[in-house]
Amino acid sequence: MFRVVGQIVAMAAVGALIWWLLSNLSTNLNRAGIGTDFGFLTRPTQFTIPYFTTFNARSPVWQMVLVGVKNTLLAGFIGVLIASLVGLVIGIARLSTNWLAARLATVFVEFFRNIPPLVVIIFFGAAVFTFGPLPILGEATEIKIPGSSNNLLLLSNDRWGIPGLAAQGNVGAYLIVFALGVVVAVGMWIWRTRVNVNTGAPHHRLLWSLGAMALFGIVGYLLLGGPFVIEWPSLSENRRVIASGFAMNWGFMALTGALGLYTASHIAEIIRGSIQAVPKGQTEASSALALNGFQRYRFVVLPQALRIAVPPIINQYLNLVKNTSLGLAVAYAELAALTSTSIANGRPAVQSIVVMMAVYLTFSLTISLILNIVNRRLELVTR
Amino acid sequence: MTAAAERAPAVPKGSALAWIKERLFRNFWSGVLSVVLIAILAYAGYRVVLFVFVNGRWEAVSRNLTNFMVGRFPRGEIWRLVAQMTLLGLALGVAAGTASGSARDRAAEAGLQYDPPSLAGTLRRFWSLIAFVLVLLAMTTTVGPWLVAAAVVILGYAGWQSWRLPRSLRMVSWVTTALLLLASFQVVSGTDGRAWVPVALVVAAASWLGVPVERLQARLRRVVSLAAVTVAAAVVFGVYSVIGAPGVGWDNWSGMNLTLWWSAIVIVLAFPIGVLLALARRSTLPTLRYLATTYIELIRGVPLITLLFMGQFILGFMLPAGTNLSSISRSIAAGTLFTAAYVAEIVRGGLQSLPPGQAEAGQALGMGTPAITRKIVLPQALRAVIPAMVGQFISLFKDSSLLFIIGVTEFLAVRGIAHAQPDFRVIAHAETLVFVAVGYWAIAFAMSRESQRLERKLGVGER
């Protein structure tokens, strides 16, 4: 009896609170003459996004949301790459027998873990780029490949140029060939694994797979007559834009660099902790089996450490993706920055924020789903 | 691979050469690594020394030191902050002294030797904080801050002497600490408006805990404690309605002062909500469980900045027309909603870590669910999550920098004031940023060290 009444009361209280908030909202919005529909999504944004020439003031708001989603995901992806690589190196260095390497890694971790990511982002944005020592784009530092007139890097306080790939036609056909190569490589992997399981012969599956992929890549490139070439970065005639190669803007570099280093400090701690969490007996047992240092790590310690490390690392990835919303501080056109610009330009705040939150929730729930699947696969099978 | 799961074996003391050989040149690759790292370190050290002592234009920081600490706080009212700091020093001293006293008593009960915390140990624990305060003092031009720092240290030391007090006064010491903390808050914010509400709550809680009702009958005990709470709240309200001294409310706070108080207020507000959410999520009533789970997962799925935006742009519309909250109040509301979800997850972890035998023992004694929760489950669960709560507080303290984005002048945003001055419009951006980073770092590092110490002391994860 009490249980039923208690639940009804709780439901009613929460419902009443939500109803009260929403009725206030609609009353106040009506009084201010602000609509509550989502029609604004198809109307023009009336502002431009720096560096996005395909997007103009007449593009609708939903297109702006897509640009924001794309940039958020791009920053998240590159940030995750940087964080994983740096975090792995620092985490292993913390356990190094080399005293200096271990101490420096500790200093790195304790430094980045204890300052707000926003401070790191703004440090990169203001002290490295905007007010930093680098020249303006027109006088960009050109780092040349030794013995050639091509630029390897173009450095300025606004945009950086790095080598890119330029299409020469037939790229579509090449992609199909390459995809075929990937399929064959997966087939090789499965076949070699089966051979190893059935006959006990060494599988060398990495070698076979990569070989198949490389074969398809090279033969396809030659047969299709060079579908793309490497394009070196260079400035345009009037030295105002980067004409060739791949260009990155300062907001993107500040955001991904800073979030990469900040998250790397957390990942390093996770990796160190998980390696230390593998019972010592495992290492001793593998030594007793006469495995060498590499084998001990590759086949005994790391697989068990990864089982512990992967879930919290995925959580850190999720945090990184959520933290890309700080790109606002360095004028990087990700979702939160664009939404706030759009609200400042007179789009309805309530609906804009609802759209933004829905997108972030989708990201989080997707990553949580992946985490759950990984957790299930990593679960120890016990009798 | 240079990594090894075990540390290098201990080396006999006194042979520096052997130490270097063992720790830096163990084998060929380790030697190469050491040489490369030493070269990088030497160059980086050279650049850092050059930046800190030769090239750095630190006047951008030293001329704005007051701005960084208190921002736009009215300069005529600074005495309030001085009074607040001395009160806080005393409060922290009393708290530390009381904690040491309890530890001594527990050690005596167990028949163990008790070593009181030494001065050197305290300095080592808080070295980052002390170093930051010394840097601040070194940059001042007047003697005032030195006097304040001296007063805080002396009062803190005086308060610490409370560890000598007998055990019967221990509860009084804790209540004194709470009242001192409140007084330090009130001396700045004044007593007009609804300032009496938090004070009344704390005094009521203190009287509820402090009134000696042990010998009374159960029913009488309930009546007496309820009466004590009501009377205490009424007295506070009466006192406040008589005094009515205006102060500087938190809408006018900024700088480091705002950063610290914002984090403290948010965690204090979020804690009870978080505990209730955690209990609801573990409840056997499905409705409560679903509501709490939905709330927690929704909030944890979005970045804090979107909630702060919500506070800025939507919260005003969701309240009855005419309610006018400042952006600081709205950011406190958003921060509380956000932190409560994380506190709930931490507390849930504590609840799950408790063996079911504890609650079953309560049932065997004939206790009801509320009594079991309040007297058996929560005390143990909350004790187990203290380190994680400190971690959450650190993360909240770091997140307070996001207020900068919604236009609140906290510690990071004070840079805007400094760089609006004609002298520093385009120069010294690196200097102010390094100063801000060191400020955040000193406080967060000291707290994270404390949380690790607590973890070891409480033996979390070892039971």
Q: Residue A126 has what DSSP assignment? A: I
Cβ atoms of A375 and A54 closer than 8 Å:
no
Q: Which whole number is the average pLDDT over A176-200?
A: 89
- Rounded to the nearest 10 degrees, the angle between the axes of helix A61-94 and helix A250-277 is 40
Map residue B217 onto helix, strand or coil.
Answer: coil
- How many residue pairs from chains A and B have C-beta atoms closer than 8 A? 192
DSSP one-letter string for B218-259: HHHHHHHHHHHHHHHHHHHHHHHHHH--B---GGG--HHHHH
Per-residue model confidence (pLDDT) at position B8: 53
Domain total in chain B: 1
**Spatial separation of the C-alpha atoms in residues B380 and B19, rounded to whole Å:** 45
The residue among A202, A223, A244 that closes a domain is: A223
Q: What's the angle, vertex CA A7, arms to CA A4 and CA A13, rounded to 5?
A: 140
Residue with tokens 């304040």: B148
Cβ atoms of B378 and B359 closer than 8 Å:
no
Q: Provide the pairing of β-strand A228-231 with A164-167.
A: antiparallel
Residue A150 burial (C-beta neighbours within 10 Å; 0-12, 13-18, 19+): middle
**How large is the ipTM?**
0.87
Q: Are residues A78 and A180 in the same domain?
A: no
Q: Which token pair is A315?
A: 């959580």
Q: Which whole number is the average pLDDT over A230-239?
A: 80
- A353 CB neighbour count, 10 Å cutoff: 22
Cβ atoms of B396 and B261 closer than 8 Å:
no
| Residue B225 lies inside a defined structural domain of this protein | no
Distance from CA of B210 to the nearest CA of A (A): 32
Q: Are residues A211 and A240 in the same domain?
A: no
pLDDT-above-90 percentage for chain A: 36
DSSP one-letter string for A299-362: IIIHHHHHHHHHHHHHHHHHHHHHHGGGGGGGT---HHHHHHHHHHTT--HHHHHHHHHHHHHH
Beta-carbon contacts of A176 under 8 Å, excluding residues fewer than 6 positions away, are none
From A97, A301, A290, select the one nearest B6 (Cα to Cα): A97
CA-atom Rg of chain B in angstroms:
26
Q: Are residues A124 and A185 in the same domain?
A: no
Tell me if chain B has a CB within 8 Å of the CB of A343.
Answer: yes
pLDDT digits (tens, 9 = 90+) for B179-191: 888 888 888 888 7
On the question of pLDDT at A128 being above 80, the answer is: yes
Cα of B322 vs its chain's centroid, Å: 34
Per-residue model confidence (pLDDT) at position B12: 56
Residue B395 is part of a domain; what is its CATH number?
A: 1.10.3720.10
| Residue B231 lies inside a defined structural domain of this protein | no
CA distances from B423 to B255, B417, B420, B429, B455 (A): 21, 12, 8, 12, 47
| Residue A159 lies inside a defined structural domain of this protein | yes
**Spatial separation of the C-alpha atoms in residues A188 and A209, rounded to whole Å:** 6
| Residue B275 lies inside a defined structural domain of this protein | yes
Q: Which residues does chain B have with pLDDT short of 70?
A: 1-14, 192-195, 208-216, 244, 459-463
Whole-prediction pTM value? 0.88
Q: Which whole number is the average pLDDT over A7-11?
A: 87
Q: Are residues A264 and A323 in the same domain?
A: yes
| Residue B236 lies inside a defined structural domain of this protein | no
Q: Are residues A63 and A112 in the same domain?
A: yes
pLDDT digits (tens, 9 = 90+) for A137-164: 877 788 888 777 777 888 888 888 888 8
**H or E element at residue B129:** helix B127-139
B448 chain-A contacts, CB cut-off 8 A = 113-114
B440 chain-A contacts, CB cut-off 8 A = 114-116, 119
Per-residue model confidence (pLDDT) at position B239: 80
Record: contact A360-B306, CB cut-off 8 A: yes
| Residue A84 lies inside a defined structural domain of this protein | yes
Tell me if chain B has a CB within 8 Å of the CB of A33.
Answer: no
Q: Are residues A118 and A55 in the same domain?
A: yes
Residue A92 is part of a domain; what is its CATH number?
A: 1.10.3720.10
Q: What's the angle, vertex CA B447, arms to CA B441 and CA B449, rounded to 5?
A: 100
pLDDT digits (tens, 9 = 90+) for A246-257: 888 889 999 999
From A173, A164, A162, A163, select the one nearest A227 (Cα to Cα): A173
List A residues 241-280 in contact with B (Cβ-Cβ < 8 A). 275-276, 278, 280
Distance from CA of B292 to the nearest CA of A (A): 11
Domain containing B322 equals 253-463
Q: Are residues A289 and A323 in the same domain?
A: yes
Per-residue model confidence (pLDDT) at position B325: 82
pLDDT digits (tens, 9 = 90+) for B397-414: 999 999 999 989 999 999
Q: Are residues A212 and A313 in the same domain?
A: no
Nearest chain B residue to A128 by CA distance is B430
On the question of pLDDT at A270 being above 90, the answer is: yes
Residue A163 burial (C-beta neighbours within 10 Å; 0-12, 13-18, 19+): middle
Record: contact B398-A104, CB cut-off 8 A: no
Residue with tokens 């702060």: B308
Nearest chain A residue to B444 by CA distance is A114
| Residue A35 lies inside a defined structural domain of this protein | no
Map residue A132 onto helix, strand or coil.
Answer: coil
**Spatial separation of the C-alpha atoms in residues A128 and B172, rounded to whole Å:** 54
List A residues 43-62 in contact with B (Cβ-Cβ < 8 A). none
| Residue B263 lies inside a defined structural domain of this protein | yes
CA distances from A31 to A26, A35, A38, A342, B310 (A): 8, 10, 18, 22, 19
Distance from CA of B161 to the nearest CA of A (A): 32
From B43, B164, B149, select the one nearest B89 (Cα to Cα): B149
List A residues 147-176 in contact with B (Cβ-Cβ < 8 A). none
Residue with tokens 């006990």: A200
Q: Which token pair is A340?
A: 């706030």
**Spatial separation of the C-alpha atoms in residues B237 and A334, rounded to whole Å:** 49
Nearest chain B residue to A360 by CA distance is B302
Q: Cα-flanking dihedrals φ and ψ of residue A60, to 5°? A: -70, 165
Per-residue model confidence (pLDDT) at position A256: 95
| Residue B18 lies inside a defined structural domain of this protein | no
Residue A316 burial (C-beta neighbours within 10 Å; 0-12, 13-18, 19+): buried
| Residue B452 lies inside a defined structural domain of this protein | yes
Map residue B6 onto helix, strand or coil.
Answer: coil
Cβ atoms of A228 and A168 closer than 8 Å:
yes
Per-residue model confidence (pLDDT) at position B177: 87
B1 chain-A contacts, CB cut-off 8 A = 92, 293-294, 297
pLDDT digits (tens, 9 = 90+) for A329-374: 998 989 999 999 999 888 888 889 999 999 999 999 999 899 888 8
Domain containing A105 equals 41-163+232-378
Record: contact B309-A118, CB cut-off 8 A: no
Q: Are residues A180 and A152 in the same domain?
A: no
**Spatial separation of the C-alpha atoms in residues B341 and B293, rounded to whole Å:** 9
Residue with tokens 């208690």: A6
Per-residue model confidence (pLDDT) at position B114: 79
Q: Which token pair is B355?
A: 């063996």
B429 chain-A contacts, CB cut-off 8 A = 126-127, 130-131
Q: Are residues A204 and A330 in the same domain?
A: no
| Residue B137 lies inside a defined structural domain of this protein | no
Beta-carbon contacts of B208 under 8 Å, excluding residues fewer than 6 positions away, are B225, B228, B229
**Spatial separation of the C-alpha atoms in residues B262 and B256, rounded to whole Å:** 10
Q: Which whole number is the average pLDDT over A195-202?
A: 85
Per-residue model confidence (pLDDT) at position B347: 93
Q: Are residues A115 and A148 in the same domain?
A: yes
| Residue A28 lies inside a defined structural domain of this protein | no
Q: Tell me, what amino acid is at B277?
A: L
**Spatial separation of the C-alpha atoms in residues B339 and B300, rounded to whole Å:** 9
Distance from CA of A95 to the nearest CA of B (A): 6
Record: contact A325-B305, CB cut-off 8 A: yes
Per-residue model confidence (pLDDT) at position B214: 60
| Residue A33 lies inside a defined structural domain of this protein | no
Record: contact B401-A322, CB cut-off 8 A: no
Q: Are residues A141 and A193 in the same domain?
A: no
Domain total in chain A: 2
